[in-house]
A and B are shown apart, each in its own frame.
Chain A
Amino acid sequence: MEEEVILPHLFRTEYRNIVSVLCYLFGIEHIEIAEDIVSDTFLSATELWATKGIPENPAGWLYTVAKNKTKNYLKRNTVFEQKLSAEIRYSTPRTEEFEIDLSHKNIADSQLAMIFTVCDPSISDESQIALALNLLCGFGIQEIADAFLTGKEVIYKRLNRAKEKLRESRIKIEQPSISEINERLETVLTTLYLLFSEGYYSTSPLAQNATLRKDVCEEAMRLNYLLIESPATNQPAVNALYALMSFHASRFDARTNENGENILYEDQDETRWNRKLIDQGTHFLIQASTGNKVSKFHLEAGIAFWHTQKESTSEKWENILELYNNLLMLEYSPIAALNRTFALAKARSKQEAIIEAEKLNLTGNHFYYSLLGHLYTGIDHDKALRHFQTALELTTSKADRSTILKNIERLNS
């Protein structure tokens, strides 16, 4: 494989693996030391590999070097060692010199513990996602800035503040107990879903960012899968979220054209939908159908499942309508209210949906006017046009503008 391809991926994967293991070993107070050791390891690798070529087992090489650097660090910093090594020795009493365990199992355990640390309720959503991308997924600051469509400086500050907060609150990095899992799993799942959405819905104008966005989605799915692999967190809602992400991801390639522009659902070529991911989603949705609690992820996965059926049948839209009814009863959101009304138009009639739409009172939301424009299309041309124009005035997103303009064009043809 080409070096330019293999290195960034290897670095990203191994960065998160080693950082997680070291943070798990050192504790959250020493997150920076862990990061420094890993960065230093990668610097050595880049220097050496540039002249001598990539070793046969690059990951193994990185692990050995990281272990040595950690031991050297501890030797040089006696204060740190006295304070920390005592704690580590205490927790691993059988070994005189503690081991840095980079086995697959310990990496998975460390990552799982870190997921629960990063998703601490004291950290804002925005920062949780940035932290997750950085510590759990191994993304660099520039990559995170690109994904968030913001500057490096902003992300740098955001990450530092969040890490400071974790240190201040002395949040332990440990295997979550059953009660912690029950208490926090929903927050964790919400963060993973936000992370996925960040990749899925980000409207970056840069076509080259498509790969980065896909990577963000894949990382969210990987972390979700870690929760499935661990028996204590393998709960129905976790499987439902994985199903939801699988269904969405199945349309990843079909939803943009070669210029990186969005293709609307109705216009997508369903032969480009990824069958394997659809089947995977169906499998995990079935796995999720146990217990007596229906989470929002179950309902959203159900809705996403019906969207993998391209044919517009009344069965499809009746089911989607019912799922949206249930979702709204569980938790209101403007987007769910709009989608519910769209489903009502499909299941019943546009007339019925217009009556309901006008009760929604979402003036100020450009999607609301786009929906009204859509509902009046074919019923009242002038009203439809007026609503689309209001939507156009309200939107700030370039991608949404082009979608609305397409709708106006269609209306006038």
Chain B
Amino acid sequence: MNEFLIAIHRDLTSENASPSPEQMQAAIKPFQDWIGGIAAQNKLVAPPKRWDLGGRVVRQNNTVTNGPYAEIKESLGGLFLIRAESYEEAVEIAKGCPVLQYGAVVEVRMAIPAS
């Protein structure tokens, strides 16, 4: 079994972003069921947390700015860790993310096992 990072990116900065706050609201229950389903397979390593959407960005020379890191439109919206045999399996799990239909993007990254 390998560990995978599941990172959900979505537009937090545009004015008429999709998913909208209403769409996020509607996705709460399906999202919980999705995570519950992963946990029921004993594949949840670290559960998601609710992250503040403001955030700070720290750059060279200790420059600190407000807001999520948004050089591109998709900021980090949520992240958690799962267990899976392969990228194939992890991707299959990621496809179940209920926020995908509203324009979110799910990034799947395998942790390199310590050798």
Contacting B at CB under 8 A, from A321-374, are 321-322, 324-326, 328-330, 332, 336-337, 340-341, 344, 356, 359-361
Bound-complex Cα distance A359 to B35 (A): 14
**Does any Cβ of A come within 8 Å of B103's Cβ?**
no
**Does any Cβ of A come within 8 Å of B42's Cβ?**
yes
Q: List 25 A-B contacts (CB under 8 A).
A: A321-B33, A324-B36, A325-B32, A325-B39, A326-B32, A326-B36, A328-B36, A328-B40, A328-B44, A329-B36, A329-B39, A329-B47, A330-B47, A332-B39, A337-B39, A337-B40, A337-B41, A337-B42, A341-B40, A344-B33, A356-B37, A359-B37, A360-B40, A360-B41, A361-B41
Q: What count of chain A residues pass the 8 Å CB interface test?
A: 18
Checking B29, B32, B33, B44 against A332 with a beta-carbon cut-off of 8 angstroms, the contacting residue is: B44
Bound-complex Cα distance A15 to B16 (A): 72
Contacting B at CB under 8 A, from A83-136, are none
Chain B contacts for A341, CB-based, 8 A: 40
Describe B's contact surface by its main secondary structure: helix
Q: A329-B36, A340-B40 are in contact. List 7 more A-B contacts (CB 8 A).
A: A328-B36, A329-B39, A330-B47, A332-B39, A341-B40, A359-B40, A359-B41
Interface centre among A325, A332, A341 (most CB of B within 10 A): A325
Contacting A at CB under 8 A, from B18-37, are 29, 32-33, 35-37
Chain A contacts for B39, CB-based, 8 A: 325, 328-329, 332, 337
Contact A325 B33 (CB under 8 A): yes
Give min CB distance, A33 to chain B, whole Å: 48
Please, which residue of chain A has its CB at the minimum distance from the CB of B40?
Answer: A337
Chain B contacts for A324, CB-based, 8 A: 36
Chain A contacts for B41, CB-based, 8 A: 337, 359-361
In the A-B complex, list the 4 residue pairs whose CB atoms are closest, starting with the nearest: A325-B36, A328-B39, A337-B40, A329-B47
Give min CB distance, B22 to chain A, whole Å: 20
Give min CB distance, A321 to chain B, whole Å: 7
Please, which residue of chain B has its CB at the minimum distance from the CB of A323?
Answer: B36
Please, which residue of chain A has its CB at the minimum distance from the CB of B92?
Answer: A359
Bound-complex Cα distance A77 to B37 (A): 64
Bound-complex Cα distance A100 to B88 (A): 69
- B-contact bits for A23-50, CB 8 A (1 contact / 0 none): 0000000000000000000000000000
Give min CB distance, B47 to chain A, whole Å: 4
Give min CB distance, A41 to chain B, whole Å: 52
Give min CB distance, A286 to chain B, whole Å: 24
Contact B32 A322 (CB under 8 A): yes
Give min CB distance, B44 to chain A, whole Å: 6
Give min CB distance, B34 to chain A, whole Å: 9
Please, which residue of chain A has its CB at the minimum distance from the CB of B41?
Answer: A359
Bound-complex Cα distance A326 to B39 (A): 9
Bound-complex Cα distance A43 to B64 (A): 78
Chain A contacts for B32, CB-based, 8 A: 322, 325-326
Give min CB distance, B33 to chain A, whole Å: 6
Bound-complex Cα distance A326 to B40 (A): 10
Give min CB distance, B40 to chain A, whole Å: 4
Chain A contacts for B35, CB-based, 8 A: 325, 329
Chain B contacts for A325, CB-based, 8 A: 32-33, 35-36, 39
- A-contact bits for B74-91, CB 8 A (1 contact / 0 none): 000000000000000000
Give min CB distance, A315 to chain B, whole Å: 13
Contact B44 A321 (CB under 8 A): no
Chain B contacts for A360, CB-based, 8 A: 40-41
Chain A contacts for B37, CB-based, 8 A: 356, 359
Give min CB distance, A358 to chain B, whole Å: 10
Give min CB distance, A276 to chain B, whole Å: 34
Contact A340 B44 (CB under 8 A): no
Bound-complex Cα distance A19 to B33 (A): 50
Bound-complex Cα distance A340 to B47 (A): 17
Chain B contacts for A337, CB-based, 8 A: 39-42
Contact A329 B33 (CB under 8 A): no
Bound-complex Cα distance A206 to B36 (A): 39
Give min CB distance, A353 to chain B, whole Å: 10
Contact B42 A329 (CB under 8 A): no
Bound-complex Cα distance A201 to B38 (A): 28
Bound-complex Cα distance A332 to B42 (A): 6
Contact A340 B36 (CB under 8 A): yes
Chain A contacts for B33, CB-based, 8 A: 321, 325, 344
Give min CB distance, B61 to chain A, whole Å: 37
Contacting A at CB under 8 A, from B47-73, are 47
Give min CB distance, A351 to chain B, whole Å: 15
Please, which residue of chain B has its CB at the minimum distance from the CB of A332?
Answer: B42
Bound-complex Cα distance A166 to B40 (A): 37
Chain A contacts for B36, CB-based, 8 A: 321, 324-326, 328-329, 340
